[in-house]
Structure 1
């Protein structure tokens, strides 16, 4: 832990380089949150990818309409749980060895992804791999705030930390 702290301190002061890991962040479905998520994610060292199966929704934006190769260093965030393609997209994501998959949405209701995946015959253990709610509970309302909370949650999870303030 001490060398980890020294290393992080050196990087924060511009005296070192962050780890050389390759991480990919896939935002599923074009949305205002996806835009901020990918922009801020790139600053955090992620290779940003916007995936939307409907090319008409991403006119003028760099995006892919077919899921790219996804591996154990890939975090996937679904930014719109109202899309008809939700179940099929998640089924296809869960068939890959991604590190983390989550769906944005109100935590007081079961996510529509659960029924969508069940109707496609996805096994319950795979459905349980989908995180919801996602991100840290910081009272986010605006798309940029939601993206920050989501990225903070991803970083905490990736680093094996619970998130939140130090000492609380």
Structure 2
């Protein structure tokens, strides 16, 4: 998604709090790799995509992202199952109207299965949303 995001005109920033997850892997194809949200410089024009919805720190990351007043927030996941982020955010005291700002599932409903297809569907949905078009986020 990072490489395609750059090609599509997004400034792609990978936020990876656990530096050990980056060791031994090729450098991500985004514009930058940072280790905390402060370094990502989130603002009202930022779109945030969480690609690993099972990590323990997702609740904290989403709470910080919501507080940063980002434009759009989404996390991967199956539409028929409530995401683990909901319970995490409730435990952290985040109000339901803020939790509702987190889109899940994300991307256009094209039946994406592979990581590349999911990246394409996600980026296409973000482009449609930014351009005020009905990109097909409904599942």
TM range (shorter): 0.7 to 0.9
Which residue does the alignment assign to 2:21?
57
Moved over 6 A (4+): none
Shift of residue 97 of structure 1? 1.8
Using the alignment, how far apart are the partners of 1:74 and 1:160 within structure 2? Answer: 16
Which residue does the alignment assign to 1:39?
3
Which residue does the alignment assign to 2:66?
94
Alignment pair present for 1:105 and 2:77: yes
The alignment's TM-score, normalised by the length of structure 1, stands at 0.73
The alignment's TM-score, normalised by the length of structure 2, stands at 0.88
Q: Unaligned stretches of 5+ in structure 2?
A: none
Shift of residue 69 of structure 1? 1.3
Per-residue CA distance 1:30-58 (angstroms, 9 max, x = gap): xxxxxxx1100101111110001111112
Which residue does the alignment assign to 2:105?
133
Q: Match of 1:47, SS?
A: coil
C-alpha RMSD over aligned residues: 1.1
Q: Unaligned stretches of 5+ in structure 1?
A: 1-36
